[in-house]
A = this chain, B = another copy of it.
Amino acid sequence: MTTYQITTELSTNRKQKTPAEQLGFGKIFTDHMFVMDYEDGKGWHNATITPYAPITLSPAAMVFHYGQAVFEGLKAYMTEDGEVQLFRPDRNFQRLNSSNARLCIPPIDEDFALEALKELLRVDREWVPTAPGTSLYIRPFIIATESYLGVNPAKSYKFMIIMSPVGSYYKEGINPVKILVEQQYVRAVVGGTGEAKTAGNYASSLKGSEIAAQQGYSQTLWLDGKENKYVEEVGSMNIFFKISGKVITPALNGSILPGITRDSMIEVLKSKNIPIEERAIAFEEVVEAAKNGTLEEAFGTGTAAVISPVGELKWLDDVISVNNGQIGEVTQMLYDTLTGIQYGKVADTFGWTVKI
């Protein structure tokens, strides 16, 4: 680990905390943020924790024009013992560097990034909400700041971490969602940026969500870009199906985001001796299973919701109901296990939590 000195400037004007029931998601930010600069020839430098404030950039800053921007999402949880803990944060900074490599952004020092995050959490510790189901959402991101209109990797960047206290994702119990299988638009293709967490991936996904919403569906199931046949992701989550007692999820083929929650679910399933397979899944196989009564459960996984049960799938003219629109047994067990570990209520036999 490279040793960088972090300069801390504390806010003299602390914000009022929002009551837990009004938190929502990603609208309220803590008192401080972490910022670090990169310049060609100088490397990453100027690590600072400063009061949360707007940033000023040239209108020609390359992030506005050529989309060199990557990000991560993770959460800090308050345990019953009053300790703040993170869930597999090393994986997030590892993946941030994979995303960097794909977009020709210089790598960050992963160990230092985690130290910086811990320091930021110590400074803003009182912002970690304590009500059941609430947490502190953490957004590390990197943007190209060089003022230049040429299509080249930028020569300067900003690496920032901002944090937002978020409400309980499931306020009234877990309600399974209705998903539309997208036919016209594509999220990613092998050789593209689908396995990286780039800003552009999310911009291209908006159209699918719009189409789903117009038809009364809350999310999009994406099929592969080559054959429009194999299941890739759902919304911005990874997806799992339980068919005839076996759990299956698309293998990481190069166009699917390697979700950290996805990986954790697979580990939990293995530890419980529930069969789990990572492989290509033609959507027709899911339709077939629904028709012959062997499709038992379906769920998406991601940091925000942890798990999102799928109650209905629409594909062309077929409407498929999953488990009568109810959350399934395995889905519930995975949710309880993972959130249990995250909030320190279930013993972390995997070594996934990191206390600050």
Q: Hey, which bits of chain A sit against chain B, CB under 8 A?
A: 25-27, 29, 33, 52-60, 63-69, 71, 102-104, 137, 139, 141, 143, 147-153, 160, 162, 164, 184-186, 188-193, 198-207, 209-210, 225-228, 235-236
Contacts and interface: CB of A to CB of B under 8 A. Distances in A.
Copies of this chain present: 2
A58 B54 contact: yes
A199 B64 contact: yes
21 contacts: A29-B60, A53-B59, A54-B57, A56-B56, A57-B57, A60-B164, A65-B69, A65-B139, A65-B199, A102-B207, A103-B207, A151-B202, A151-B205, A151-B206, A151-B209, A152-B206, A186-B190, A186-B191, A198-B203, A199-B203, A225-B226
Given A225-B192, A226-B225, A57 B60 contact: no
B54 A64 contact: no
A59 B120 CA distance: 16
Given A199-B200, A207-B104, A60 B192 contact: no
Contact of A153 (B65, B198, B206): B206
Given A150-B26, A184-B191, A189-B189, A202 B67 contact: yes
